Amino acid sequence: MAYAETSPSAPPVISSKTVSTPTYVEEYQAITAVLNTYIEGCKQAKSSLMKSAFNEHATMYSVGADGKLAGGAIPILFEGIDKEFRPSPDAKAAITRIEIVGNAASARIDANGMSGISFTDFFQLLKVEGKWTVVSKIFQTHPAA
């Protein structure tokens, strides 16, 4: 058997410098906070709680029952939350995926029982001026379980 030679070496250098740029974990946590803001707005049926998660130029799209593209500017989501959703404090939601590359990220949320609806959301986020923000959302609704 061959063994690596162990020889005394200089003691390890311990740096007193701190990391000045965010780590992946910090970025992940910042994105999670943004997505949880959206989830809480859905649960409480209050768009005012989720608006900060979205860029003012964000869009939302899905495919309607007729098979055609439906959606547009993000105020459509806010109006739907305020007028059509009802509070669902017992609804369940999970952030099932977050992928981050530099200032761009993609995320998925699966939710059950949000105002009687189950759905999957896909979000695209960008880090704009140091803050993560949703720039687009597409979604698929599922039959209520």
Classify residue 51 by its DSSP letter.
G
CATH number at residue 63: 3.10.450.50
Residue showing tokens 């979000």: 123
Predicted model pTM? 0.82
Would strands 117-128 and 92-101 be described as parallel, antiparallel, or unpaired? unpaired
Number of domains present in the structure of the chain: 1
Q: How many angstroms separate the CA atoms of 123 and 95, rounded?
A: 11
CB atoms within 10 A of CB 70: 13
Q: How many angstroms separate the CA atoms of 74 and 60, rounded?
A: 6
Q: Is residue 4 part of a domain?
A: no
Per-residue pLDDT of the chain (145 residues; tens, 9 = 90+): 444 444 455 555 554 555 556 788 999 999 999 999 999 999 999 999 999 999 999 999 999 989 999 999 999 999 999 999 999 999 999 999 999 999 999 999 999 999 999 999 999 999 999 999 999 999 999 976 5
What pLDDT is recorded for position 122? 98
Q: Is residue 100 part of a domain?
A: yes
What pLDDT is recorded for position 143? 75
Q: Name the residue range of residue 28's domain.
A: 24-142
Q: Is residue 130 part of a domain?
A: yes
Q: How many angstroms separate the CA atoms of 43 and 50, rounded?
A: 10
